[in-house]
Structure 1
Amino acid sequence: MTNEWKLINASLPLRDEAHLYALTVRDGLWTDVAAQPGTADVPGAVPIDELAGAPAAGTVVDLGGKVLLPGLVDAHMHLDKSFCLPQVGNASGTLEEAVSNYSNAVHAFSKDEIKARIIRSALQAVAFGTTAIRTHLDFHVRWGADVALRTIEAALEAQAELKPYVKLELFPLAPMFRFEAGHLDVLEETLRMGVTGVGTAAHMSATWESDIDTLFGLAQKYDLPLDFHTDESDDPMKRTVAHIAQRTIDCGWSGRVTVDHLCSLAAMNDADAGMLIERMAAAKLYAVTLPGANLYLQGRRDGFPVRRGVTRVKDLLSAGIALATASDNIHDPFHPFGRGDLLQIGLITAYAAHMGRPADLRTILRMITEIPASILGLEGYGVEAGNDADFVVFDGATPEELFTMVPERRWVFRGGRWLKLAAKRSGFALPELDRRLGEAAERLAFGTPAAVAKA
């Protein structure tokens, strides 16, 4: 039996704002995307505000001019750490203390607890419209193979359970500079378990060049993409991105390497930053900015003026580098806030990068949709006939309204069915997703006196 939906009066700001659109979804795929000559009036059409329960396939849904975007794509999260702030505090608020505190606590976390964090935070992101996520996974092999692998096992199990709701990419974050004899064998076992790619934070190592070379060797051996936490520092002399760019070219890995954070670019002079950005462009590196976490973490030891750590967003975009913006951490020692809402992250990006012009807002929408989709290598992405009909509808008619109001009411569709419906007046009606998210949230505390005491 064909599962078909028709949508009318949809606003598609990433395509054409001069028209509203009529769309058809059949068996989870876009089959027709057509500009309307004006506002459509179809007898029997149901206003999207009135969708409830389990709407019947075949219903014509009137979006009433609301914005429809392809499912949001979060190119950088740490789902395994999310909501652990009650167990792992951070008194100084620095990146260094966050790294130390979490690495010293991770051995005490069970696989079930880590899995619960991943499921809860991923489902929460889905509720805000995200349908694909790349998550980095801590890999603390110094505590032994069991501790390192339990996070990977938890993530693989969560990935399978979450498949109906979100595509999850898994990237172990290898602490190369702390490896001892046999540790690399454990990392290789992880890569054989079915993760998506691998990364590290080489700028934290005294042997960063050899660490980067080791990761490229593994990527070539297992034919995997690489994703580096890169130069997340206020120090303008942190420039590991130059070596990453050169190795990308040498290894023929262009289009398969992502560099995240890039905070040191914001601390150095224009000439030096421009040189590095040129190298990045030549290597065709992907990039991700994490404005929420970096605004919180960076510049902690500065007097005024305080460096805020957000990378050179406009310069990277101007150089033609595919730059996404992403969530990073949620309620953990690295970032006590956040909720997995990419529209909120887009707004923070607009503030931090001075991007408020109409063209800027549409660029930021691409930084949470089309650009990260290319980074993740998603096939069949976007509102085009033949592509997967994964999408989110916002309770707003223009990008300006989205970023001004950050509407809570959103409708999420994936895999041929509605995952989330927003009731007209009485909050949310989240059929299956509401139940799953509620179950996941029950597993985790949200702030405790112990966390306050550590602060």
Structure 2
Amino acid sequence: MGNSRLTIVNVRLPLADERLYYTLRAEGGRWTEVAAQDGYLERSEPYAPFDAEGAVRAECLDAEGKVALPGFADVHMHLDKAFSLPKVGNVSGTLGEAIANYAASAGTFSKEEILSRIMKTALQAVSYGTSAIRTHLDFHAAAGRRVALQSVEAALEAKERLAPYLELQIFPMFSYRSSTASDVELFEEALRMGVTGVGGAPHIADEPERNIDLIFSLAEKFDRPIDLHTDETDDPEMKTVLYIADKTTASGYGGRVTVDHLCSLASMPPAEAASVIARMAEAKLSAVTLPAANLYLQGRGDSAAVRRGVTRVKELAAAGIPIATASDNVHDPFHPFGRGDMLQIALITAYGAHMGAPSDLRLLLRMATEIPASIMGLRGYGIAAGNAADLVLLDAVTPDELFTKLPDRRWIYRAGRWLKFAPPEAGWEVPELGEQWTAYRRYGL
């Protein structure tokens, strides 16, 4: 943790009371005071923390009414796959081809290449203000021990290297094919290596209910949370989430199970969807929408009235279900775009879920910060006295302006120091990492 002192005045906190100006004080990498001001304080220091030479200007900065948020929490990314599109294509653009093509290529990647992709993508996300990421990892047990475990090994190494910049959670995805006893043993080895939780995609499993049973048994045995790709399809008859809800209740796992995508909900008639959502709420499930990837992937079989693929965000939130938004895939066969920018993802969520009212915009900011942080179980999160002094100061004065401008200028304070990044054309270089960061260039990324 850093030992520097910092005071920021005239800052707006939209997750608190955006009508007020606040003074923030930090010391030793923790907030010591977060206080509402009586009004605007006249000061001379500019809000940009660095001068033209890149040196820190002062310990006391004037935010000039700019918005500050706690570091973004991205609760669903695939860092191991990111930037693999040049090597693993997808001509049809379908989810099916993406799954098949990546599985066929998994054995061709080295651990070093996967590590480089994870580092590049995670640090690019940090440069946009992210302070925590939950990454889902492919676990190709059928390809053998080396292939299955090398993504886990790479992610664990990246977690250590990235610790000064963000918290990385690791969720390998349990095989969606009928798993043998040896497959289960191999996954248990991954859990013993220190991964955070158990992931999976049971809706595409050969035997979905058996797959869910195995996932829960592994999670219970090792006392780990569960985070599952769930019903990522336009088919309204796909409702594996109901079995997940039943299993969650029976296992006493309420509050420790997250279900992602939930695209089939959007295809169901409203009354049917409401019944499913009510059961999810009863089971205390958390949810994640992945709007960028699902707007791209879903609806490809529709010739008219093309479905959007984004789940029923507003209905889930209204039911009291914690729902976050997240990046999912970045420049890979599942989604050829993206950059790990949670403010951009929040904006895409607004488009995909028809969320533009002032209250919607405030909810979207919480869906990119507080809600995913709660789902991830992050401790000491948020701009409050005693918490870790992590924030992103953005070049906008209201939430409305944030979504309109999508400001590129963002100043990131993490663990008692300002982080410095070179411009995008320089490859988002992080000087402190040196060769650890630039190694990705060996793979043409």
TM-score by length of 2: 0.95
| Alignment partner, residue 445 of structure 1 | 444
Residue type at the aligned position of 2:23: A
- C-alpha distance 239-431 of structure 1, shift in aligned 2 (>3 A): closer
Contact 2:107-2:147 within 8 A present in 1 as well: yes
Give me the whole-angstrom Cα distance separating, in 1, the residues matched to 2:17 and 2:422.
Answer: 25
Deviation, 1:93, is 0.4
Contact 1:410-1:420 within 8 A present in 2 as well: no
Give me the whole-angstrom Cα distance separating, in 2, the residues matched to 1:413 and 1:78.
Answer: 25
- C-alpha distance 431-309 of structure 1, shift in aligned 2 (>3 A): closer
| Alignment partner, residue 209 of structure 1 | 209
Deviation, 1:270, is 1.0
Q: Which runs of 5+ in 2 are unaligned?
A: none
Residue 10 (structure 1) aligned with residue 8 (structure 2): no
Give me the whole-angstrom Cα distance separating, in 2, the residues matched to 1:226 and 1:134.
Answer: 12
Residue type at the aligned position of 1:445: G
CA deviations 1:283-336 (Å, max 9, x no partner) are 111100000000000011111111121000110011010000000000000000
**What SS does the corresponding residue of 1:47 show, helix, strand or coil?**
coil
| Alignment partner, residue 452 of structure 1 | none
Contact 2:23-2:37 within 8 A present in 1 as well: yes
Give me the whole-angstrom Cα distance separating, in 1, the residues matched to 2:73 and 2:231.
Answer: 23
Deviation, 1:17, is 1.3
Give me the whole-angstrom Cα distance separating, in 1, the residues matched to 2:87 and 2:3.
Answer: 49
Contact 1:54-1:431 within 8 A present in 2 as well: no
Contact 1:10-1:63 within 8 A present in 2 as well: yes
Give me the whole-angstrom Cα distance separating, in 1, the residues matched to 2:47 and 2:297.
Answer: 44
- 1:369-388 matched pairs, under 5 angstroms: 369-388=369-388
Give me the whole-angstrom Cα distance separating, in 2, the residues matched to 1:361 and 1:33.
Answer: 23
Residue 29 (structure 1) aligned with residue 30 (structure 2): yes
- 1:78-97 matched pairs, under 5 angstroms: 78-97=78-97
| Alignment partner, residue 188 of structure 2 | 188
Residue type at the aligned position of 1:189: E
Deviation, 1:47, is 3.2
| Alignment partner, residue 40 of structure 1 | 41
Contact 2:47-2:62 within 8 A present in 1 as well: yes
| Alignment partner, residue 242 of structure 1 | 242
Give me the whole-angstrom Cα distance separating, in 2, the residues matched to 1:186 and 1:392.
Answer: 40
- C-alpha distance 428-403 of structure 1, shift in aligned 2 (>3 A): farther
The CA RMSD measured in Å over matched residues stands at 2.0
**What SS does the corresponding residue of 1:229 show, helix, strand or coil?**
strand
| Alignment partner, residue 366 of structure 2 | 366
Give me the whole-angstrom Cα distance separating, in 2, the residues matched to 1:363 and 1:120.
Answer: 29
Q: Which runs of 5+ in 1 are unaligned?
A: 447-455
| Alignment partner, residue 133 of structure 1 | 133
Between stretches 294-303 and 332-341, larger displacement belongs to 294-303
Residue type at the aligned position of 1:127: S
Contact 1:410-1:422 within 8 A present in 2 as well: no
| Alignment partner, residue 451 of structure 1 | none
Deviation, 1:410, is 0.4
Contact 1:137-1:170 within 8 A present in 2 as well: yes
| Alignment partner, residue 252 of structure 1 | 252
Give me the whole-angstrom Cα distance separating, in 1, the residues matched to 2:149 and 2:421.
Answer: 37
Q: Report how many aligned residue pairs link the two structures.
A: 442
Give me the whole-angstrom Cα distance separating, in 2, the residues matched to 1:112 and 1:427.
Answer: 22
| Alignment partner, residue 74 of structure 1 | 74
Give me the whole-angstrom Cα distance separating, in 1, the residues matched to 2:395 and 2:356.
Answer: 20
Contact 1:413-1:420 within 8 A present in 2 as well: no
TM-score by length of 1: 0.93
CA deviations 1:203-228 (Å, max 9, x no partner) are 00231111101111111110000000
Contact 1:86-1:445 within 8 A present in 2 as well: no
Between stretches 58-67 and 137-146, larger displacement belongs to 58-67
Fraction of identical pairs, as percent: 55
Give me the whole-angstrom Cα distance separating, in 2, the residues matched to 1:347 and 1:433.
Answer: 31
Contact 1:422-1:430 within 8 A present in 2 as well: yes
